[in-house]
Amino acid sequence: GEAVVAYEGALSRLAAYSDQGMMARAAHGLGLAQWRQGSLQAARAAFEQALELLGNAPSAETVRVLVDLSTLLTVHLGQQAEGAASAQRALEMARQLADKSLEAAANRAVAGRFFLSGQEIALALQSLKRALVLAEESDDPCEAAKCCFYLAGAYYWKAEIRQSYQVSMRGVAFIERSHQQYQLRIASAWLALLLASQGDWLEAEQAIERVQALSPPLASAFLRQIRGFLAYQREEYGAAERELQAALVNQQTGSMGLIFAAGLLGMAQAARGKREEAAASMVELETLLATLPPGTLPIVPIMLCLALIAIALGDEERAAQLYPRLQAFSGQHYWFLVDRVLGELATLGGEWDRAMVHLAAAEETSQSEGLRPELARTLWAQATCELARGGQENLTHASTLLKRALTLFEELHLTEAAGRIRDQLHPLTRQGQAQRLPPQVLPAGLTASEAKVLQLVVAGKSNRQIAQELGLSEKTVANHLTHVFNKTNSENRAAAAAFAIRHRIA
């Protein structure tokens, strides 16, 4: 508000004196103020005005404007080619001026190009480490802080969450030295994301409270995304849906933030049982995906969320299509571990061995990086795969995995997941006891799998709940029920349940 008005007034007054250098600095300041308010297109116009005023002669101010324009275009507006061109021009000019601080900033901008290419994160890390060294050598804490948070992002995508946290804390120290209060808001929100990923709920809440206590406030859309993710992680799906819907309302058209919030919203809706909304969300996400260049970082969180919604809805066709596209990003992390989701997709497709390879990788990463919610989900996914395989040895292993997952979910106070796992463990315990008894001859030629499904029908479970409990797809459950109806001569679930009670199956 006030900063924008002040810079606009300065531009108007300076125009009367034809001082293009001062006008360029005012336009640059206006662009930064508009950016902080979330007015991204207005910020772009102001930066471009500043460059026009500065002309073609190399100068420190031109490098700074080019760096900011590149970051805005590449990271926030998705204009990869234009952003990369601005970054390269800034780097060439900084080297021509032989200024280490400017070269650090330009290196960071160049890394932004790699930063949004999912297969070039290693190159981004090299460039950003070089930029941080240059910033420290030139004693520029403001630029060093920015380099730290770019590094933190690259480590996050590489699933190196502990490294991301450590370099983020270095960034906070640089911010405090440079007295850049706005950067402190972004830093605290980023730390909240990392803490929420690790299941440190209280610390994540405190980080968000620090953001809210600072003035002027952080752009609403970004903070709401972080709050929405924290709520989703804590199984507060209604709150997650509200926060993410608000984030999208506050998100500007063309902003890259849309990409990261939209998928989580569909997941929250699926978790709340809003199947129609979640299905509509998948269509919207696929439309969004089609507009993005293949192989770039923004497509991965969209595909991950699409995959998780497809799994929740039992959409085997979509799941099968997403699996090969996500394989290229194995070992990475975008909200969630790619390997964990690949494992769940492979399980849904009946590829048990492949699923367990992915899930073993996810288990190792989640343990080493302290991603407790992901570790719990991974153990659960491993158990689901073992249950789907069948066989007494696999069922015994599944029971062990479920107990480990249950312990974690209870520690994290995730009561919904814990309750569902207890429901899964109960029939497994009974089945283990039944293994020690003489085999039972089932009536009407029912198979053991059909009898399990029928027992859960008697318990009032829906097809979706039965699928989750037995680690099957909804399509498989529906097939089992069709066989049950035919064999027991039942017209509906109620008649089949009555048959089960009469014959003491349930």
Indicate whether 211 belongs to any domain.
no
CB 347 within 8 A of CB 381: yes
Which residues, in sequence order, are bridge partners of residue 337? 333
Question: Is residue 24 within 8 Å of residue 238, measured between CB atoms?
Answer: no
Percent of the residues in the chain that have a pLDDT greater than 90, as a whole number? 38
Say how many domains are in the chain: 1
CATH of the domain at 492: 1.10.10.10
> What would the DSSP string read from start to end of 67-84?
HHHHHIIIIIS--HHHHH
Give the Å distances, CA to CA, from 439 to 24, 328, 435, 448, 500.
85, 47, 8, 11, 18
Structure tokens at 379: 């153990």
- Quickly tell me which residue has 């009898």 as its tokens: 451
Q: What percent of the chain lies above the pLDDT cut of 70?
A: 93
Is 178:142 a contact under the CB 8 Å cutoff?
Answer: yes
Give φ, ψ of 117 to 5 degrees.
Answer: -115, 110
Alpha-carbon 277 to chain mean position: 19
pLDDT tens by residue, 329-372: 999 999 999 999 999 999 988 888 999 999 999 999 999 999 99
> Which residue is it, tokens 């073609």?
56
Residues 66 and 91: their CA atoms lie apart, in Å, by 9
Residues 484 and 446: their CA atoms lie apart, in Å, by 7
- Helices 20-37 and 60-71: angle between axes, nearest 10 degrees: 20
- Residue type for position 476: T
Q: What is the pLDDT of residue 159?
A: 94
Residue 43 binned pLDDT confidence (cut-offs 50, 70, 90): very high
Domain interval for residue 501: 442-506
Tokens encoding 46: 């102001």
Q: Indicate the pLDDT class of residue 305, thresholds 50, 70 and 90.
A: very high
Q: Has residue 493 been placed in a domain? A: yes
Task: Please indicate, yes or no, if residue 466 is contained in any of the structural domains.
Answer: yes
* Among the listed residues 126, 140, 125, 63, the one whose alpha carbon sits nearest the alpha carbon of residue 95: 63
Where is average pLDDT lowest: 14-23, 115-124, 172-181, 454-463?
A: 115-124
Query: Would you state the pLDDT for residue 436?
Result: 43
User: Has residue 462 been placed in a domain?
Assistant: yes
Residue 282 pLDDT: 92
CA 276/CA 269 separation, integer angstroms: 9
Q: Are 296 and 308 in contact (CB under 8 A)?
A: no
Burial grade of 403 (CB within 10 A; 0-12, 13-18, 19 or more): middle
SS3 track for 28-54 = HHHHHHHHHHCCHHHHHHHHHHHHHHH
* Cross-strand pairs, 336: 334
Q: Return the structure tokens found at 156.
A: 């996050």
Is-contact 406 398, C-beta < 8 A?
no
Lowest mean pLDDT among 16-20, 187-191, 302-306: 16-20
Give a yes or no: residue 475 inside a domain: yes
Tokens 């991603």 — which residue? 371
- Does the residue 496 lie in any domain? yes
pLDDT at 241: 94
Nearest 5 degrees, angle CA 305-CA 308-CA 313? Answer: 125
User: Which of left, alpha, beta for 253 (phi over 0: left; psi -120 to 50: alpha)?
Assistant: beta
Query: How many CA atoms does the CB half-sphere of 294 hold within 13 Å?
Result: 3
Contact 156, 194 (CB under 8 A): yes
Q: What is the mean pLDDT of the chain?
A: 86
Within 10 angstroms of residue 112's Cβ, the number of other Cβ atoms is 25
Q: Which two tokens stand for residue 80?
A: 């990869």
pLDDT band for 193, please (50, 70, 90 cuts). very high
Our measurement of the distance from residue 120's CA atom to the centroid of its chain's CA atoms, rounded to an integer in Å, reads: 19
Element (H, E) at 7: helix 2-15
Q: Is residue 470 part of a domain?
A: yes
Task: Judge contact between 467 and 478, C-beta under 8 A.
Answer: no
Q: Are 135 and 109 in contact (CB under 8 A)?
A: no
CA 261 – CA 281 distance, rounded (Å):
11
Three-state secondary structure call for residue 489: coil
Per-residue pLDDT tens digits for 252-297: 544 555 667 889 999 999 999 999 999 999 999 999 888 877 777 7
For residue 415, being part of any structural domain is answered with no
What is the pLDDT confidence band of residue 433, given thresholds at 50, 70 and 90? very low
